[in-house]
Amino acid sequence: MEFQKEKTNDLTNIKKIIAVMSGKGGVGKSSVTSLMAVALRNKGYNVGILDADITGPSIPKVFGINAKRAESDGTHIYPVTTATGIKVISLNLLIEKEDSPVIWRGPIIANSVKQFYTDTAWGDLDYLLIDLPPGTGDVPLTIMQSLPVDGIVVVTSPQDLVSLIVTKSINMAKMMNTPILGIVENMSYFECPDCNKKINIFGKSNIEEIAKDMDIDVIAKLPIDPQFVELCDEGRVELYEKINLDFEESFSKKISEKIGG
Ligand SMILES: Nc1ncnc2c1ncn2[C@@H]1O[C@H](COP(=O)(O)OP(=O)(O)OP(=O)(O)O)[C@@H](O)[C@H]1O
């Protein structure tokens, strides 16, 4: 089925849109979205992040821009730019107090996200990453249907993989007829700082089997890393270098294989 796609504005030119989804909350979807943005920015691309996880927006915090506010001139919303030049829009950058709860119902949330897409003056972007709310509910579905998404990344954790939730989200992505770039397994293992042994804290992951069964690729397995959490908590995710090089390579390889660019 074809759905009517929203259009942007005269101050925006976006080449590719990548949506990031997860079966459930807390698997690190926002952290991985930030890493993807940093990886693409490191390669010299113009990158934006649309934080569509309205009820649990964490993107501004990991980039240390949560004290800033996005401006509006009544027609356009102007995104906030991070230290390295990534443009971010998030409800948390628009509301007066970032700790106020969002007590909107699904359709209003979905409409605000559409508006973040249509009304933001994004400028020239090579990639816009959309951090979707977790799950396969109304909001991620509406967003996937109404924005012209070019590719999807599914973020999982090893415990999450055994559940039906992740299969559901992969099936939802497939039903959108949008190329799935692949799965990122986050918190996959812990590497002992003394002996460098990889320890499967959550048990051995069966991501390869699941991915093969579902005919999708594994983009990366990211470790549990206290340094990563620390940098995210301090709003300095752009300084995280350790896993970025490998991740950068495999992520950009999947982009060029599956959606070009
Ligand atoms: N690789 C990692 N190693 C250690 N901690 C991590 C890792 N990835 C994420 N975390 C931590 O896990 C927590 C949840 O991450 P994040 O907010 O990115 O999840 P999420 O899936 O976007 O959650 P939600 O959708 O519920 O907002 C954060 O405290 C984050 O710092």
Mean pLDDT across the stretch 127-150?
A: 91
Q: Is residue 193 part of a domain?
A: no
Residue nearest to atom 1 of ligand 1 (CA): 224
Best substitution site from 21, 55, 165, 232 to test ligand 1's pocket, by max atoms within 8 Å of Cβ? 232
Q: How far is CA 194 from CA 37, 50, 148, 191, in A?
A: 30, 39, 46, 9
Cβ-based neighbours of 84, under 8 Å, separated by 6 or more: 38, 41, 238
Residue nearest to atom 26 of ligand 1 (CA): 25
CA 29–ligand 1 middle distance (angstroms): 6
86-125 per-residue burial string, b: 16 or more CB within 10 A, e: under 16: bbbbbbbbbeeebeeeeeeeeeebbebbbebbbbbbbeeb
CA 24–ligand 1 middle distance (angstroms): 11
Band of the pLDDT at 254, cuts 50, 70, 90? confident
In this structure, the number of other CB atoms found within 10 A of the CB of residue 260 comes to 10
CA 95–ligand 1 middle distance (angstroms): 23
Residue nearest to atom 19 of ligand 1 (CA): 28
Q: Is residue 3 part of a domain?
A: no
* Structure-block tokens of residue 261: 């660019």
Antiparallel, parallel or unpaired: β 47-51 and 123-131: parallel
Mean pLDDT across the stretch 203-209?
A: 79
Band of the pLDDT at 33, cuts 50, 70, 90? very high
Domain residues for the domain of 114 are: 14-152+225-256
Q: Is residue 248 part of a domain?
A: yes
- The span from the CA of 56 to the CA of 149, in Å, is 22
Q: Mean pLDDT in the chain?
A: 88
**Among 244, 44, 249, 21, residue whose Cα is nearest residue 144:** 21
* Residue 36: CATH number of its domain: 3.40.50.300
* Secondary structure letter of residue 237 according to DSSP: G
Confidence at residue 1, expressed as pLDDT on a 0 to 100 scale: 60
Band of the pLDDT at 7, cuts 50, 70, 90? very high
Q: Is residue 194 part of a domain?
A: no
Q: Is residue 165 part of a domain?
A: no
Q: Are 228 and 93 in contact (CB under 8 A)?
A: no
Q: Is residue 173 part of a domain?
A: no
* Secondary structure letter of residue 166 according to DSSP: H
Number of domains within the chain: 1
Q: Is residue 177 part of a domain?
A: no
Residue ranges at the known binding site for ATP? 23-30
Q: Is residue 163 part of a domain?
A: no
